[in-house]
Structure formats: C-alpha cells, structure tokens
Structure 1
Amino acid sequence: MFNEAELIVLRRAYARQIAFLGDANNAALERAYAEVPREAYLGPGPWPIFRWTGYTQTPDADPAWLYSDILVGLVPERGLNNGQPSAHAGWIAAAAPLPGEHVVHIGAGAGYYSAIMAHMVGSAGTLTAIEYDPALAACAAANLAHLPNVLTLHGDGSVVPIAPADVIYVNAGASRPADTWLDGLKQGGRLILPLTTKFNFGEGAPDFSRPSGAVFRITRRGSNFDADFIGDVAVFPCEGARDEASEQALAAAFGKGGYRDVKRLLRTDDVPEEECWVRAPGWSLTYR
C-alpha cells in the first residue's frame, strides 16, 4: 500500500494528467485535484470501478487505485458513479470558479467535486452543495463537514432556494434549464448545464447510437444569457429538471445536429424555428 508521502506525489501526477486530458488550463483547478484526497469522498475500499462490461472491484483498499481517469461506483446498482475526473475538469474550467465567489453544486453526490470547487473559491468564498438522494446527501454532509465554507442541503436542486451565485454547476442531465438556476445567477454568473434526452443514460448505461447529451455554459449578461457548447456528455438524469415537452424538443434537436453552434439561451419560445437549435415551451437555444 502506498504511504502518505507517495500518495502526495501520486495526486500531483494525477492532477497534471487530469488537467491535460480535460483540456483544463487552470492552475487553481490543478492544485485542487492535487490536494483534495479522492478516497475521502468514496467510502472505505475496495471500490467498484466502472467499465463498459460492468463494475470491477479494486484488488484492495489502497487509495492509489483511485488516482486515474476512472469512474467509481457510488450506487452501482443504479449506475450512479463519482464522475470521470477529466470530464469534470473541463466543465469546472469552463465555469472558472474564482476566490471569493459563491458556487452552487446541483447533484453533489458524495461531495468530491464540491470539495474541488470549494478549494478553488477558498476561505473567502462559499459553496452550496445540493443532493436529491437522501443517502448521498447525508454522505456528502459528513464528507464536507470539515470545510467551513460549504453548506450541504438535501432536496430537489431545481427548486431549492439559493443565494445569488457566481457559478451554478449542474451535475446531472436536465431536459430544460430551471428558472431557479437562471434567476439565481449573478451578473456575469456562469451556469454549467448538461441537457440530455431519455436515451442518454437509460438503465445504468448511455446509448451512443444517437446524439443525446451536451453540456453548455450559460453566462448572464444583464437580462440576456449567452450560451456556449462545452462538450458531449453521458450523465445520470436530473430529478426535477425534466419535462416531456422539452424532452421531445431536445430529441428532435439532437437528431438534426447543430448543437455546437448555439450562441444564446432565451426564456421564451417565441422565436423563428430557423434561428433555433431547440425550441421548447418557455425557452430556446438559438444560433444568434
């Protein structure tokens, strides 16, 4: 088993690799990956490691097994994992939490990526971690209790009242942006929004036979919201932030393509069809 001195070196190498794989050129993010111990948020080992053929248990409880770009099962029977580190690195870099800012993490799971972002905002900043699953919320609360700048809540992250936020980081697949998130953004605030269809992550595994999920950065500019495509995604669905009409509109939109070219999120569907990638009741993503 690796000793603590060896783990410190291993975490630094892991952080450098993850930042590279996630195309995340952010020194504060790399430091957070190097200094936040992943094993502290995953329960006692051995740990179930996700592979496309199923889960494989690590040979023992050595934390060294966790310092790679792998998914670790949190609730394996539901296909719910501690997400891929490089993917989160790219999304967190797009959100770019800064010292002193307030981050809201929707779908905090067991708290690992909450801890990463709390590290980035520092003691002058705050982080609100919200988790829908009661068992995971309790786990996150215990795991994050040592961080004085973190508040952990159990509830539906699409409706839980939040203080004005510089970053809202949604860690689950929505079929629409929740009003709570858009209203909660400060001026210049960034919302990391994964939009997915029901084909994205069905019975524990994504269906890659069709495009079905993309992550967007939504930035508040006065009363307007800029939108940028960040990357493709396969992610567990977001309870509370899904509706059938938006689901159908997204499925049609992914079917026609063009989601990498969106420029703006509008809180209306009163937009010409040719200007939209997706148009659903009450909201649209447009090309201009």
Structure 2
Amino acid sequence: MDFAEQRQAMVAHLRERQDISDSVAAALLAVPRHLFLPGVDPEDAYRDEPIVTKRDDAGRPISSSSQPAIMATMLDQLGVEPGHRVLEIGAGTGYNAALLAHLAGPAGHVVSMDIDEDVVAGAGRHLAAAGATRVEAVCADGAQGYAERAPYDRVIATVGVWDLAPAWLEQLGAGGRLVAPLDLRGVQVSVALERAGDHWAARSVVPCGFMRMRGAFAGPEAVVVLRRDPELMLGLPEWRELGDVLGALDTEPAEVPVGGGEAPYGPGVTMWLALHDTRCCLLTGRLGQGFGMSAGLVDGDAIALLAGEGAHVARGRAPTGPGLAAQGHGPGGAALAADLAGHVRAWAAAGHPEAGDLRIRAYPGSAPGDGRGTVVPKRHTTLVVDFG
C-alpha cells in the first residue's frame, strides 16, 4: 500500500493550521513518509508528530523524523526551485532529503550529511525504497559542509545549531540561502538567512525545536533527561548544576497571576525570556494530557512555568484565577514565579512581540557596536538580535 489517502489527510490537516506553498504540499503528497519509518505503524507515520529513531546511552534523542508541520515551514523558508543544488546537514531518516529532491526536480541534486554511519546507511536504504535517486547520502561531520558538490543554491540544517559554520556560508553560491534551527541562548528559531553586505540577515524567523548538533561543532547547550517514561526533558542554554527539579514538579505550586483574563501567550515569551534571563529553560515532553513544551525559569531545586491558555505545565494544572499565571515549584519557587511573571508583563508591555518579529543579523567575527539589539557572541559569528 502507498497510503496516498493518509498523505492527503496529513496535508489537509497541515493546511488547515498553516500556510503551505503548493510546491511543498505536492512534495508531501508525493513522498511516502512511512517508507522512511519502517519500524513504525504506517498510520502513525502520517500523524503530525516527531518520531524519535535513535537515542544515546543516557536516553537523549539524537536522531528523528521531524514533525511534518515544521518540516513544511522550513521547506517554504528555504524556497528550493527546480534545478537547485541543495546541501542538507542532518540526514535523519532521509525523508526530508526526499522532499528536497522532489522540489529540486530532475535537474537538481541533494547532498544529505550525517555524522553517524548507521543513520546514513538507514537513510540510504529508505531513499532507495522510495525511489529517491537524486540524493547523495554522505557520512561526515556536517560542520565542514561538502565542498565536492559546492557551490549550493540552498543549505538547510535539520539539526539544532549553536553557531553558523563558516563552511556553509562559504559553500553557498551567489544569491544563496541558508535555513537553520539557530540557538538563541537555549531557545531555537528556524532562521532563513541571506547575504546583506558584510553580514547575513534573516528574511524570516519561526519558532522550532530540534535535536542539537553533535561533533566538533556542538555548542554548550544542555539537555537534561528528567524522566524517561513518560518522557520529560529540560533544555538549558549551557550546562549548570541543578537540584531535584523532577521532585519539585511534584509539589503544589505557588502561583503568581500575570495579568487579566485575556492575557495572551505565545512563543514570543520564550524568545523574550531567552534574551533577558540566563535562568531560562525549556521543558519538553509529556506535559499534562499530551506532548508539549513550556518556557520558564529554573534555579537549583526550583522551577517556574506558565499556566493558562496556550501554556503547558508538567502536571496540567490550570491556574486558580483568570488569565495567565506563573507557577513556581519547589523551594524558592514563589520568588522564581514572581520573576517569571515580571518578564511576561514586560513582554506584554512591549506589544506581545513574537518570534516572527525578531530581527537577526549574523556577522563573521565581531559585530559593529551600534548599540542596537542584544549581542549574542558565538564561536565564529556574532548575532545581533532585537524585536523589530
């Protein structure tokens, strides 16, 4: 069975919730995702959910088939056209590479790289099973790019990156575009970057969440597995010692109201916290009744999370009053919740900016001292970020 009806249902579901170009929708309809997930029930393969395919010894996910919704968004950010040469960093199951090959057409070519031999071998088998012949799967550290096929019209990273690898920028041809899940102090946004004189400027920004890049180009971000079943993970901008956070989440919270009954909440709060407080964290996993994520603050044995419409908390508690609330768990949780509520109020006073309002400039080396935006130094580049 080719499960064409399931693909049609998946695409219809996605188009009800987001804008998807006709070309990307056609690729999603044409490429059979279940062939890239041979150990998964085909019905499950067409749900709009990420599917973990490999974990490390500590139980941390290190390879997956990404959620179709964010895949579609990033493909539209990338804007692959027929005849394009595309470099993909992070082969995964090979599914995204097959979508890229469909978009690039018979005259195009896709190189998909991964650091793990077994991942590359599996992607190759899946691509062959799906008849995706215009993809070259390469086992190597993606941070070095693949100079043998350069220059590329498009480069996409399907793994979270802390910094922009110089090789990616060097191997992009004139008018090229790079799309990557870029780290902003522990929080990721998918950024589409193009050259703008002496730097790279974002033409679109959307929130996302991807497994982090490994190897020599890995950043300082840390993922702490709090619980394996059901899965619950805590993302940090960099490693630091914490207390019994999981135990804290089992305690009754101290609640601090944020605002009125119509206080809005969106991914922009996560961006705001990341840029304004080094204690920012991202809790991801089975939260309440389903999979989700929540931004908050964590310090020692205490953690504070948002509760209310659009916000998730670990045990699914609703706030006791109207609107949004910060709920602090563990010793010192009340003070942490007060700080979190203060950040959300500041975000609201700024006009509720969202991830799409972010302006991101990436400079090789250091950035000009023009005083605009938050400066986020990386290893090879310096980001200047502000809410436009």
The residue number in structure 2 matching 1:277 is: 374
1:153 equivalenced with 2:143 (yes/no): no
Q: Tell me the SS of whatever aligns to 1:274.
A: coil
Which of residues 157, 168, 178 in structure 1 aligns to 2:155? 168
Q: Supply the distance in 2 between the matched residues of 1:252 and 1:37 (Cα, whole angstroms).
A: 38
The residue number in structure 2 matching 1:266 is: 363
The residue number in structure 2 matching 1:254 is: 274
Which of residues 26, 43, 66 in structure 1 aligns to 2:45? 66
Query: Contact conserved, 2:165 with 2:380, CA < 8 A, in 1?
Result: no
Q: State the one-letter code of the partner of 1:11.
A: R
Please state how far the C-alpha of 1:88 moved relative to its aligned partner.
1.0
Q: Supply the distance in 2 between the matched residues of 1:263 and 1:213 (Cα, whole angstroms).
A: 13
Q: Name the CA shift for 1:15/1:181 in 2 (closer, same or farther; >3 Å).
A: same
Q: Name the CA shift for 1:261/1:65 in 2 (closer, same or farther; >3 Å).
A: closer
1:23 equivalenced with 2:19 (yes/no): yes
1:143 equivalenced with 2:129 (yes/no): no
Structure 1 unaligned spans of 5+: 48-60, 200-211
Q: Name the CA shift for 1:255/1:136 in 2 (closer, same or farther; >3 Å).
A: same
Q: Tell me the SS of whatever aligns to 1:124.
A: coil
Q: Supply the distance in 2 between the matched residues of 1:121 and 1:237 (Cα, whole angstroms).
A: 27
Q: What per-residue deviation string (whole Å, max 9, x for no partner) do you get for residues 72-100 of structure 1?
A: 22115432321100011111101110000
Q: Supply the distance in 1 between the matched residues of 2:11 and 2:200 (Cα, whole angstroms).
A: 32
Q: Supply the distance in 2 between the matched residues of 1:127 and 1:29 (Cα, whole angstroms).
A: 16
The residue number in structure 1 matching 2:111 is: 128
Query: Contact conserved, 2:182 with 2:188, CA < 8 A, in 1?
Result: yes
Query: Contact conserved, 1:225 with 1:265, CA < 8 A, in 2?
Result: yes
Q: Supply the distance in 2 between the matched residues of 1:264 and 1:143 (Cα, whole angstroms).
A: 37
CA RMSD of aligned residues (A): 2.7
Q: Tell me the SS of whatever aligns to 1:219.
A: strand
Structure 2 unaligned spans of 5+: 222-236, 239-270, 278-352
Please state how far the C-alpha of 1:263 moved relative to its aligned partner.
4.3
Give 1 or 2 for the bigger CA radius of gyration: 2
**Range 225-234 or range 154-163, more displaced:** 225-234
Q: Supply the distance in 2 between the matched residues of 1:264 and 1:161 (Cα, whole angstroms).
A: 25
Please, what TM-score do these two structures have when normalized by structure 1?
Answer: 0.78
Please state how far the C-alpha of 1:198 moved relative to its aligned partner.
7.9
Please state how far the C-alpha of 1:256 moved relative to its aligned partner.
2.2
Give the count of matched residue pairs: 252
Q: Name the CA shift for 1:123/1:173 in 2 (closer, same or farther; >3 Å).
A: same
Q: How does 1:167-206 map to 2 (within 5 A)?
A: 167-196=154-183, 199=186
Q: State the one-letter code of the partner of 2:133.
A: P
Q: Supply the distance in 2 between the matched residues of 1:17 and 1:285 (Cα, whole angstroms).
A: 36
Please, what TM-score do these two structures have when normalized by structure 2?
Answer: 0.59
Query: Contact conserved, 2:52 with 2:65, CA < 8 A, in 1?
Result: yes
Q: Supply the distance in 1 between the matched residues of 2:205 and 2:185 (Cα, whole angstroms).
A: 20
Query: Contact conserved, 1:194 with 1:216, CA < 8 A, in 2?
Result: yes
1:218 equivalenced with 2:193 (yes/no): yes
Query: Contact conserved, 2:184 with 2:275, CA < 8 A, in 1?
Result: no
Structure in which a larger fraction of residues adopt strand: 2
Please state how far the C-alpha of 1:223 moved relative to its aligned partner.
5.3
Percent of pairs with identical residues: 23
Q: Name the CA shift for 1:217/1:166 in 2 (closer, same or farther; >3 Å).
A: same
